[in-house]
Amino acid sequence: MRHVETIIVGGGPSGSTCAWQLVKNGQDVLVLDKETFPRLKLCAGWITEKAIADLQLTPQNYPHPLLELDIRSHFPKVPFGLNWFPTKGKNYSIRRTELDAFLLERSEAPVEKHSVKTIRREGDRYIIDNAYSCRNLVGAGGTMCPVRRNLFHDERRKSLQIATLEKEFEYPARKDDCNLYFGRRGLIGYAWFVPKGNGYVNIGIGGKSKYFRKSGTNIHDHFKWFLADLIREGRLDEATADNLKATGHPYFLYANDGAIKNDNCFLIGDSAGLASIDLGEGIGPAVESALMTADEILGRGVYAKGPITHYSFGGLTERLLKRFVPAKGVPEEARETVPQQIRQPA
Protein backbone atom coordinates (compact mmCIF):
# COMPACT_ATOMS: atom_id res chain seq x y z
CA MET A 1 0.00 0.00 0.00
CA ARG A 2 1.34 3.41 -0.94
CA HIS A 3 1.26 6.11 1.74
CA VAL A 4 1.16 9.81 0.83
CA GLU A 5 0.71 12.67 3.29
CA THR A 6 -2.06 14.30 1.20
CA ILE A 7 -4.14 12.68 -1.52
CA ILE A 8 -6.40 14.82 -3.70
CA VAL A 9 -9.17 13.01 -5.55
CA GLY A 10 -9.90 14.97 -8.72
CA GLY A 11 -7.58 16.95 -10.96
CA GLY A 12 -9.88 19.81 -12.02
CA PRO A 13 -9.31 23.47 -11.08
CA SER A 14 -9.94 22.94 -7.37
CA GLY A 15 -7.83 19.81 -7.04
CA SER A 16 -4.93 21.11 -9.11
CA THR A 17 -4.93 24.48 -7.31
CA CYS A 18 -4.81 22.81 -3.91
CA ALA A 19 -2.00 20.53 -5.13
CA TRP A 20 -0.11 23.52 -6.57
CA GLN A 21 -0.07 25.32 -3.25
CA LEU A 22 0.93 22.22 -1.27
CA VAL A 23 3.73 21.24 -3.64
CA LYS A 24 5.10 24.81 -3.60
CA ASN A 25 5.39 24.43 0.16
CA GLY A 26 7.22 21.12 0.07
CA GLN A 27 4.29 18.84 0.89
CA ASP A 28 4.01 15.18 -0.16
CA VAL A 29 1.00 15.16 -2.53
CA LEU A 30 -0.65 12.75 -4.96
CA VAL A 31 -3.55 13.53 -7.30
CA LEU A 32 -5.88 10.70 -8.33
CA ASP A 33 -8.24 11.14 -11.27
CA LYS A 34 -10.24 8.64 -13.30
CA GLU A 35 -9.45 10.51 -16.53
CA THR A 36 -6.26 11.23 -18.45
CA PHE A 37 -5.61 14.92 -19.05
CA PRO A 38 -6.28 16.79 -21.24
CA ARG A 39 -9.86 15.56 -21.25
CA LEU A 40 -13.12 16.98 -22.52
CA LYS A 41 -14.89 19.04 -19.89
CA LEU A 42 -18.03 20.89 -20.89
CA CYS A 43 -18.40 24.26 -19.21
CA ALA A 44 -19.54 27.70 -20.26
CA GLY A 45 -15.98 28.62 -19.37
CA TRP A 46 -16.69 32.02 -17.87
CA ILE A 47 -13.88 33.06 -15.55
CA THR A 48 -13.68 36.31 -13.61
CA GLU A 49 -10.76 38.66 -13.18
CA LYS A 50 -10.67 37.71 -9.49
CA ALA A 51 -10.40 34.00 -10.26
CA ILE A 52 -7.57 34.68 -12.72
CA ALA A 53 -5.78 36.72 -10.07
CA ASP A 54 -6.29 33.95 -7.46
CA LEU A 55 -4.69 31.53 -9.93
CA GLN A 56 -1.85 34.00 -10.51
CA LEU A 57 -2.60 34.00 -14.22
CA THR A 58 -2.55 36.81 -16.76
CA PRO A 59 -3.37 36.89 -20.48
CA GLN A 60 0.40 36.97 -20.97
CA ASN A 61 1.43 33.93 -18.90
CA TYR A 62 -1.51 31.68 -19.82
CA PRO A 63 -0.53 29.68 -22.93
CA HIS A 64 -4.03 29.28 -24.37
CA PRO A 65 -6.64 31.77 -25.57
CA LEU A 66 -8.07 33.91 -22.79
CA LEU A 67 -10.83 35.84 -24.53
CA GLU A 68 -12.09 39.00 -22.84
CA LEU A 69 -15.88 38.94 -23.00
CA ASP A 70 -18.07 41.68 -24.42
CA ILE A 71 -21.29 40.70 -22.64
CA ARG A 72 -24.87 41.37 -23.69
CA SER A 73 -27.53 40.66 -21.06
CA HIS A 74 -31.06 39.82 -22.25
CA PHE A 75 -34.15 39.96 -20.04
CA PRO A 76 -37.83 39.18 -20.66
CA LYS A 77 -39.87 42.20 -21.77
CA VAL A 78 -36.69 44.04 -22.80
CA PRO A 79 -36.56 44.02 -26.64
CA PHE A 80 -32.80 44.44 -26.91
CA GLY A 81 -29.62 43.17 -25.28
CA LEU A 82 -28.09 45.40 -22.64
CA ASN A 83 -24.37 46.01 -23.01
CA TRP A 84 -24.10 45.59 -19.28
CA PHE A 85 -22.98 43.03 -16.75
CA PRO A 86 -22.59 44.20 -13.14
CA THR A 87 -19.49 42.36 -11.96
CA LYS A 88 -16.28 43.86 -10.70
CA GLY A 89 -13.45 43.74 -13.19
CA LYS A 90 -13.15 42.01 -16.52
CA ASN A 91 -14.62 38.68 -17.54
CA TYR A 92 -12.98 36.09 -19.77
CA SER A 93 -13.76 32.78 -21.44
CA ILE A 94 -11.55 29.71 -21.46
CA ARG A 95 -11.83 26.13 -22.67
CA ARG A 96 -11.85 23.81 -19.71
CA THR A 97 -10.04 21.08 -21.61
CA GLU A 98 -7.11 23.51 -21.90
CA LEU A 99 -7.31 25.22 -18.51
CA ASP A 100 -7.61 22.03 -16.48
CA ALA A 101 -4.66 20.33 -18.18
CA PHE A 102 -2.52 23.46 -17.80
CA LEU A 103 -3.30 23.89 -14.09
CA LEU A 104 -2.67 20.22 -13.32
CA GLU A 105 0.69 20.26 -15.11
CA ARG A 106 1.64 23.53 -13.43
CA SER A 107 1.00 22.03 -10.00
CA GLU A 108 3.96 19.66 -10.49
CA ALA A 109 2.13 17.12 -8.35
CA PRO A 110 2.38 13.46 -9.32
CA VAL A 111 -0.85 12.28 -10.94
CA GLU A 112 -2.14 8.73 -11.24
CA LYS A 113 -5.13 7.55 -13.22
CA HIS A 114 -7.35 5.77 -10.75
CA SER A 115 -11.11 5.55 -10.32
CA VAL A 116 -11.73 5.70 -6.57
CA LYS A 117 -14.34 3.26 -5.30
CA THR A 118 -14.03 2.78 -1.53
CA ILE A 119 -12.60 4.93 1.24
CA ARG A 120 -12.46 4.12 4.93
CA ARG A 121 -10.87 5.62 8.02
CA GLU A 122 -8.33 3.58 10.00
CA GLY A 123 -6.85 5.45 12.96
CA ASP A 124 -5.40 8.69 11.64
CA ARG A 125 -5.30 7.51 8.03
CA TYR A 126 -7.72 7.24 5.12
CA ILE A 127 -7.49 4.03 3.10
CA ILE A 128 -8.42 4.24 -0.59
CA ASP A 129 -9.28 0.98 -2.39
CA ASN A 130 -6.73 -0.85 -0.21
CA ALA A 131 -4.08 0.67 -2.51
CA TYR A 132 -3.39 4.12 -1.07
CA SER A 133 -3.35 5.70 2.37
CA CYS A 134 -3.02 9.30 3.49
CA ARG A 135 -3.30 11.56 6.50
CA ASN A 136 -5.03 14.41 4.63
CA LEU A 137 -7.73 13.65 2.06
CA VAL A 138 -9.18 16.25 -0.30
CA GLY A 139 -12.32 15.56 -2.31
CA ALA A 140 -12.19 17.53 -5.56
CA GLY A 141 -14.07 15.12 -7.78
CA GLY A 142 -17.08 17.28 -8.63
CA THR A 143 -20.74 16.67 -7.90
CA MET A 144 -20.36 12.87 -7.78
CA CYS A 145 -17.10 12.97 -5.81
CA PRO A 146 -16.30 9.56 -4.25
CA VAL A 147 -14.90 11.26 -1.15
CA ARG A 148 -18.26 12.83 -0.48
CA ARG A 149 -20.08 9.62 -1.32
CA ASN A 150 -17.99 7.51 1.06
CA LEU A 151 -17.40 9.86 4.00
CA PHE A 152 -20.14 12.53 4.06
CA HIS A 153 -23.74 11.53 4.55
CA ASP A 154 -25.63 14.81 4.81
CA GLU A 155 -28.59 15.33 2.51
CA ARG A 156 -28.09 17.92 -0.18
CA ARG A 157 -30.81 20.51 -0.59
CA LYS A 158 -32.57 19.49 -3.79
CA SER A 159 -34.00 22.99 -4.08
CA LEU A 160 -30.46 24.12 -4.94
CA GLN A 161 -29.77 21.49 -7.59
CA ILE A 162 -29.06 22.85 -11.04
CA ALA A 163 -29.47 20.93 -14.30
CA THR A 164 -27.53 22.00 -17.37
CA LEU A 165 -27.44 21.04 -21.04
CA GLU A 166 -24.69 22.40 -23.27
CA LYS A 167 -22.45 21.90 -26.27
CA GLU A 168 -19.00 23.21 -27.17
CA PHE A 169 -17.87 23.16 -30.77
CA GLU A 170 -15.84 24.92 -33.45
CA TYR A 171 -17.88 27.65 -35.13
CA PRO A 172 -15.65 30.19 -36.91
CA ALA A 173 -18.72 32.07 -38.16
CA ARG A 174 -19.68 33.05 -34.61
CA LYS A 175 -20.02 36.61 -33.49
CA ASP A 176 -17.54 37.72 -30.84
CA ASP A 177 -20.02 39.09 -28.31
CA CYS A 178 -21.10 36.94 -25.36
CA ASN A 179 -24.85 36.74 -24.78
CA LEU A 180 -26.61 35.79 -21.55
CA TYR A 181 -30.39 35.21 -21.63
CA PHE A 182 -32.16 35.41 -18.27
CA GLY A 183 -35.65 33.94 -17.90
CA ARG A 184 -35.77 32.87 -21.55
CA ARG A 185 -39.25 31.43 -22.28
CA GLY A 186 -39.99 31.30 -18.56
CA LEU A 187 -36.84 29.37 -17.64
CA ILE A 188 -35.90 29.78 -13.99
CA GLY A 189 -32.25 30.09 -14.83
CA TYR A 190 -30.44 31.36 -17.88
CA ALA A 191 -29.02 30.45 -21.27
CA TRP A 192 -25.70 31.47 -22.77
CA PHE A 193 -23.79 31.88 -26.00
CA VAL A 194 -20.12 32.19 -25.05
CA PRO A 195 -17.43 32.71 -27.71
CA LYS A 196 -14.02 31.22 -27.02
CA GLY A 197 -10.59 31.39 -28.57
CA ASN A 198 -9.65 29.68 -31.84
CA GLY A 199 -13.19 29.88 -33.20
CA TYR A 200 -14.93 27.82 -30.50
CA VAL A 201 -18.26 28.56 -28.89
CA ASN A 202 -20.16 27.09 -25.96
CA ILE A 203 -23.96 27.28 -25.90
CA GLY A 204 -26.19 25.95 -23.18
CA ILE A 205 -28.88 26.43 -20.60
CA GLY A 206 -29.07 25.90 -16.87
CA GLY A 207 -31.90 26.05 -14.41
CA LYS A 208 -33.11 24.75 -11.09
CA SER A 209 -34.08 21.11 -11.36
CA LYS A 210 -37.28 21.71 -9.40
CA TYR A 211 -38.43 24.16 -12.08
CA PHE A 212 -38.41 21.46 -14.75
CA ARG A 213 -40.29 19.08 -12.47
CA LYS A 214 -43.01 21.62 -11.71
CA SER A 215 -43.37 23.44 -15.05
CA GLY A 216 -44.38 20.53 -17.27
CA THR A 217 -41.33 21.08 -19.48
CA ASN A 218 -37.91 19.49 -19.54
CA ILE A 219 -34.43 20.76 -20.16
CA HIS A 220 -34.36 19.28 -23.66
CA ASP A 221 -37.43 21.37 -24.55
CA HIS A 222 -35.65 24.52 -23.48
CA PHE A 223 -32.44 23.68 -25.31
CA LYS A 224 -34.37 23.12 -28.56
CA TRP A 225 -36.25 26.40 -28.09
CA PHE A 226 -32.97 28.17 -27.41
CA LEU A 227 -31.48 26.82 -30.65
CA ALA A 228 -34.52 28.17 -32.51
CA ASP A 229 -34.00 31.59 -30.92
CA LEU A 230 -30.31 31.62 -31.87
CA ILE A 231 -31.18 30.76 -35.47
CA ARG A 232 -33.71 33.61 -35.62
CA GLU A 233 -31.15 36.01 -34.17
CA GLY A 234 -28.58 34.98 -36.77
CA ARG A 235 -26.14 33.61 -34.20
CA LEU A 236 -26.37 30.02 -35.37
CA ASP A 237 -27.13 28.44 -38.76
CA GLU A 238 -29.74 25.73 -39.12
CA ALA A 239 -27.34 23.10 -40.45
CA THR A 240 -25.14 23.42 -37.38
CA ALA A 241 -28.13 23.41 -35.02
CA ASP A 242 -29.54 20.24 -36.61
CA ASN A 243 -26.35 18.33 -35.75
CA LEU A 244 -25.89 19.49 -32.15
CA LYS A 245 -26.23 16.84 -29.46
CA ALA A 246 -25.92 18.50 -26.08
CA THR A 247 -24.65 16.88 -22.90
CA GLY A 248 -26.11 17.50 -19.46
CA HIS A 249 -24.91 17.33 -15.89
CA PRO A 250 -26.22 18.39 -12.46
CA TYR A 251 -24.48 20.37 -9.75
CA PHE A 252 -25.40 22.25 -6.58
CA LEU A 253 -25.46 25.90 -5.64
CA TYR A 254 -23.92 27.42 -2.53
CA ALA A 255 -25.74 26.72 0.73
CA ASN A 256 -24.70 27.90 4.17
CA ASP A 257 -25.46 24.50 5.67
CA GLY A 258 -23.79 21.22 4.70
CA ALA A 259 -20.43 19.88 5.84
CA ILE A 260 -17.28 20.70 3.92
CA LYS A 261 -14.70 19.07 6.20
CA ASN A 262 -14.38 16.38 8.83
CA ASP A 263 -11.11 15.97 10.72
CA ASN A 264 -8.45 15.90 7.99
CA CYS A 265 -10.90 15.30 5.15
CA PHE A 266 -12.01 18.25 2.99
CA LEU A 267 -14.53 18.84 0.20
CA ILE A 268 -13.77 21.61 -2.28
CA GLY A 269 -15.30 23.03 -5.45
CA ASP A 270 -18.38 21.29 -6.84
CA SER A 271 -17.93 18.37 -4.44
CA ALA A 272 -18.86 20.85 -1.69
CA GLY A 273 -21.62 22.51 -3.74
CA LEU A 274 -20.01 25.95 -3.85
CA ALA A 275 -21.24 27.41 -7.16
CA SER A 276 -22.53 30.96 -6.81
CA ILE A 277 -26.24 31.24 -6.07
CA ASP A 278 -27.15 33.72 -8.77
CA LEU A 279 -25.09 32.64 -11.80
CA GLY A 280 -23.92 29.16 -10.86
CA GLU A 281 -20.31 30.29 -11.27
CA GLY A 282 -18.11 27.39 -10.24
CA ILE A 283 -14.49 28.13 -11.14
CA GLY A 284 -14.00 31.09 -8.81
CA PRO A 285 -15.44 29.41 -5.67
CA ALA A 286 -13.55 26.21 -6.53
CA VAL A 287 -10.24 28.06 -6.57
CA GLU A 288 -11.05 29.96 -3.37
CA SER A 289 -11.93 26.74 -1.51
CA ALA A 290 -8.77 25.04 -2.79
CA LEU A 291 -6.50 27.82 -1.56
CA MET A 292 -8.18 27.87 1.86
CA THR A 293 -7.89 24.09 2.20
CA ALA A 294 -4.21 24.19 1.31
CA ASP A 295 -3.70 26.87 3.95
CA GLU A 296 -5.38 24.73 6.61
CA ILE A 297 -3.29 21.68 5.72
CA LEU A 298 -0.20 23.89 5.92
CA GLY A 299 -1.29 25.14 9.35
CA ARG A 300 -1.66 28.77 8.35
CA GLY A 301 -5.43 29.20 8.05
CA VAL A 302 -8.88 27.67 8.44
CA TYR A 303 -11.14 26.44 5.67
CA ALA A 304 -14.70 27.76 6.08
CA LYS A 305 -17.61 28.53 3.77
CA GLY A 306 -18.22 32.07 4.95
CA PRO A 307 -15.47 33.89 2.98
CA ILE A 308 -16.17 32.03 -0.29
CA THR A 309 -17.95 34.06 -2.97
CA HIS A 310 -21.60 33.02 -2.95
CA TYR A 311 -23.17 35.74 -5.13
CA SER A 312 -21.48 36.68 -8.39
CA PHE A 313 -22.96 40.16 -8.11
CA GLY A 314 -24.78 40.61 -4.87
CA GLY A 315 -27.93 38.65 -5.74
CA LEU A 316 -29.00 41.10 -8.45
CA THR A 317 -29.87 38.33 -10.91
CA GLU A 318 -32.16 36.67 -8.39
CA ARG A 319 -34.08 39.93 -7.86
CA LEU A 320 -34.38 40.50 -11.60
CA LEU A 321 -35.71 36.99 -12.14
CA LYS A 322 -38.38 37.47 -9.49
CA ARG A 323 -39.48 40.64 -11.23
CA PHE A 324 -39.47 39.53 -14.86
CA VAL A 325 -40.00 35.74 -15.07
CA PRO A 326 -43.58 34.37 -15.23
CA ALA A 327 -44.60 32.44 -12.15
CA LYS A 328 -45.86 29.36 -13.99
CA GLY A 329 -43.86 27.49 -16.58
CA VAL A 330 -43.65 28.38 -20.24
CA PRO A 331 -46.60 30.19 -21.86
CA GLU A 332 -48.34 28.22 -24.61
CA GLU A 333 -47.68 31.00 -27.11
CA ALA A 334 -43.97 30.58 -26.51
CA ARG A 335 -44.19 26.94 -27.51
CA GLU A 336 -46.11 27.76 -30.67
CA THR A 337 -43.41 30.11 -31.95
CA VAL A 338 -40.88 27.27 -32.13
CA PRO A 339 -40.43 25.47 -35.48
CA GLN A 340 -41.88 21.97 -35.36
CA GLN A 341 -38.65 20.27 -36.43
CA ILE A 342 -36.86 21.37 -33.26
CA ARG A 343 -39.79 21.55 -30.87
CA GLN A 344 -39.83 17.95 -29.69
CA PRO A 345 -37.58 16.90 -26.79
CA ALA A 346 -34.48 14.92 -27.77
Q: What is the pLDDT of residues 59-116, one digit of tens each?
A: 889 999 999 999 998 988 887 777 766 666 789 999 999 999 999 999 999 999 999 9
What is the set of domains in the chain, with CATH numbers? Answer: 2-342 (3.50.50.60)
- Residue range 302-322: mean pLDDT, rounded: 74
Q: Is the pLDDT assigned to residue 325 strictly greater than 70?
A: no
Q: Give the tens place of pLDDT for each residue, 231-286.
A: 999 999 999 999 999 999 899 988 877 899 999 999 999 999 999 988 889 999 99
pTM comes to 0.88
DSSP state of 331: -
Q: Give the tens place of pLDDT for each residue, 126-159.
A: 999 999 999 999 999 999 999 999 999 866 777 7
* Confidence (pLDDT) at 93: 96
Measured CA angle at 179 (ends 173, 184), to 5 deg: 120
Show the beta-strand stretches assigned E in 28-81. 29-33, 46-48, 67-68, 71-74
| Closest-CA residue to 203 (of 188, 217, 184) | 184
* Confidence (pLDDT) at 87: 67
- Residue range 166-178: mean pLDDT, rounded: 93
Where residue 295 falls among pLDDT bands split at 50, 70, 90? very high
* Confidence (pLDDT) at 187: 85
Q: How many Å apart are CA 6 and CA 111, to the nearest integer?
A: 12
* Confidence (pLDDT) at 155: 67
Cβ within 8 Å of residue 25, ≥6 positions away:
294, 298
Q: Give the tens place of pLDDT for each residue, 39-58.
A: 999 899 999 999 999 999 99
Q: Give the tens place of pLDDT for each residue, 256-271.
A: 778 999 999 999 999 9
* Confidence (pLDDT) at 340: 34
Where residue 324 falls among pLDDT bands split at 50, 70, 90? low
